[in-house]
Amino acid sequence: MPDVEDPEPAPLKIAVLVSGHGRGSNLGAIMAGCSSGEIDGTVELVIGTRTDSPALERARNAGIPTIVVSPRKYQDDEAGYAAALLRVLGKSEPGLICLAGYMLKLPDAVLEQYPGRVMNIHNALLPLFGGKGMYGENVHRAVLASGVKLSGCTVHFVDNQYDNGPIIVQSPVPILDADTPETLAARVLVQEHKCYVRAVRLFAKGALSIVERRVLGADPE
């Protein structure tokens, strides 16, 4: 038998966090990217905040293990919430955690356990139109009200502030005269799915590095 000096790296194990009644379309895009081989990885676990979540239903239908860790149960007990998340994450030992429509701030203890291994998708071009309260349609409403001519989406590494960590990929979407929050959201969402799959694919290949606030390795191909 020949010596195997450089065995192929194992596929990336991915855990995805979703919130509330999220529909899970970004989760779906990541799952599809893994199934098609575009991402060298597998979604091992989806963690939700409530049982009646369409995103969790989507994962269950695909045979992916799901679990609910209810932040309500840990109101005013961030340490308890963090410990519960770490317990379930520890069982699947993910190489990457993807927030996909997860609207809460991930406890510091979780970020400390997975440094540089947590990503988020945001439906605007950060650093504009992010932060607490800026989620879902609120974002598109604020974008339209501001009069900017360009919106888009951002995938970034997560730090301990909302929508703030180093940016991995962004995709612009022009704003049209006839846009409403709904029409803009629909066009941005198409780009979100592409951006998230691209960011996870690059991460799985080991292509990304973080240098201060810059993420290198994601030049347009």
Structure tokens at 83: 């410990």
Q: Which C-beta is closer to ligand GAR: that of 25 or that of 80?
A: 25
List interacting residues with ligand GAR (CB under 6 A).
22-26, 55, 100-101, 103, 121-123, 135-136, 139, 163, 189, 192
Strand-pair category, 167-174 with 209-211: unpaired
Least distance between ligand GAR and beta carbon 198 (Å):
15
Strands (E), 18-174: 41-48, 66-68, 96-99, 118-122, 150-157, 167-174
User: Is 122 tagged catalytic?
Assistant: yes
Say which of 122, 140, 156, 193 is annotated catalytic: 122
Q: Which C-beta is closer to ligand GAR: that of 13 or that of 23?
A: 23
Q: Which C-beta is closer to ligand GAR: that of 8 or that of 61?
A: 61
Distance CA 31, CA 14 (A): 10
Least distance between ligand GAR and beta carbon 6 (Å):
36
Please report, for residues 27, 75, 84, 192, the alpha-carbon distance to residue 131 in angstroms, rounded to integers and kept in the order given: 22, 21, 25, 18
Least distance between ligand GAR and beta carbon 195 (Å):
10
Q: Would you please indicate which residues are annotated as catalytic (active-site) residues?
A: 122
